Chains A and B, each alone.
Chain A
Amino acid sequence: MSDYETIDETIQDKIQNLVVFMCNECGQGSANTAGVARMGYDPAIRIIRVQCTGQIGPIQIMDALNNGADAVACVGCCLGACHFFNGNILSMHRIKLMKKLFKELGYSDQFVNQYTSRAAEGETAVGDFEDIVDRLSTAIKEEGTIKDGC
């Protein structure tokens, strides 16, 4: 039984839409591998395929949050293995600034995150999904959702 099934129900209610931008290479690749292996993950996860996480910036993240996402994550290639050049690192810089911004406003910094995964290993993607849900539920328990402030 994986962790997400043991989460407090009231918190589970608050986690309905988790937007995950996955890159077309490692990110989407590992999700495919997970699918082929029939691994389960939280039904709140909504995958959006992008060419590279380097395409994702504060604008896309804020669009997702303003339109009902409870949290946003990016899943890209491993460090140094971006199939383009360094899109995953650039995206990390921007997401780090978003995290800092949320902290400055008095919110948890766990509403945005960036992960990496390996295309050949489906469990890396599923593990990332579990980590998103875990971190978000801890954040909601301690500091409330981001929607409380909107």
Chain B
Amino acid sequence: MDVKVFQFNGCNKCFNESLLLKLDSEYNVEFISEPKKWKEEKIETAVITGYVLPTDKELLSKIRSKANKVIAYGSCTVSGGVFALANQHGHEITPLKGLIDDIIEIEGCLGEVDELKSVINGEELMKPKKLCDLCIRRATCEYLDKVHRQIELENEETCFNDLGFLCNGFVSRECKERCIDYNTPCRGCKQLVERPGIRMLGMFGTLMGNIEVATEHSVKGATDKLGDEDDDVTRSLPDILGNFFRFTFTTSGLPKGRIPSSGTLLEDLFTGRLIEELPLITGLLGGDKSISLTLKIIESYEKANQIEVSEQTMKYREDLIKLEEKLYEAIEKEDAKQYKEITEKIRQIAGNMNLSNVFFGGFKSKINEEDNFEEYKTQIFEVVEGTYKNGSVEYSIDSEGIIKEIKIREG
């Protein structure tokens, strides 16, 4: 079966993952990392990865007319993914279905290769299971007194949302990456319902019932009205767009943002996000340098704020860097077997390909059964205003922990 995988813009994590198709001899896979050089021949199955822009429309229409089947693989193609957060600054990342018709969508960051295989074979996808059904944590459904941006890792029984720690699992379906297994709340890359972000906003807003909301006297109505000033509710969630609409901004029905752009698309995507979210966003962005970029950001912050890092943590981080180099080689050689082995090793340490387990000061869950977890357990860290620099990355945060400016050179 002929399959052609096209990589458009942005992260190439899903493009790399489709290398696993080669392990199955029934597919004759060709990888096209520069779609502009494609020779426009007939295609049986076209797989599109990476985010798409309106400027890609012409090329995409050509692919559509030449291919029997077009598959949008990964959240970036389906809905703009994490890159679409740059639309807050006026960029125009579009879901693939907004540019061409008749496509099959496979969501997920990272998209699941098993789903891709069954779609290529023309099978129906399994009915989705709710993530909450599979989660070991249980809901208490009590109003929150406080929203937490970081939590202690002690409690492993209560639902993240009920601990005051936003988790999008409520509106998401089962996935393979399973961030929730690594003490990381779900980011919601596979949606269970339509407009998950908006629904989650309603649910979490209700849960915040005990937190004080500002009211003011309305002169004309002579009664109280909802106040305009900042209050505990708005201060609890400094980045609503990034927290609730991480993967679904373009499909949520919200208007496009009109905050002035401050640089490249990649820099715009980071501006406005929160410091504790940074490792996850860099992890999601994937690409060949995601591990080193994530560690660079973490290490610069640790160094400047004297966060102690144990030897064991350093050892695991070094292992990750080495694995990243090997992964790069495997991708260069298009060696699917080696790619599978290395990603499995990365998953052992970092939890998943989104690096859920990697955090400031250590790791979020036990890596090896024999390890003493206390040695490299991450702790709650203080948000310190300032500018942090490490090699090719430089970012500054304000007193709330919001990224004000970021510069990423190359990669």
Contacts and interface: CB of A to CB of B under 8 A. Distances in A.
A59 B206 CA distance: 13
A143 to B, nearest CB: 9
Contacts of B218: 115, 127-128, 131
Counting chain A CB atoms within 10 Å of each CB, the highest count among B195, B199, B213, B257 belongs to B213
B239 interface: yes
Contacts, number: 144
A43 interface: no
Contacts of A90: 205-206, 209
A62 B199 CA distance: 10
A147 B253 CA distance: 12
A123 B222 contact: yes
B221 A104 contact: no
B202 interface: yes
Interface stretch (A6-14, A15-23, A44-52, A95-103): A95-103
A101 B211 contact: no
A113 interface: yes
A115 B201 CA distance: 20
Interface in B218-258: 218-226, 228, 231, 233-234, 237, 239-241, 244, 252-258
Contacts of A127: 218-223
Contacts of B136: none
Nearest to B241: A104
B205 A109 contact: no
A150 interface: yes
B93 to A, nearest CB: 15
B257 A106 contact: yes
A97 B256 contact: no
B134 interface: no
B256 A89 contact: no
B234 A104 contact: no
Given A58-B202, A127-B220, 14 more contacts: A58-B198, A58-B201, A59-B198, A66-B253, A90-B206, A92-B213, A96-B231, A96-B233, A106-B257, A107-B258, A115-B223, A118-B223, A124-B222, A131-B219
Q: Which 3 A-B pairs have the closest CB atoms?
A: A57-B202, A94-B205, A127-B221
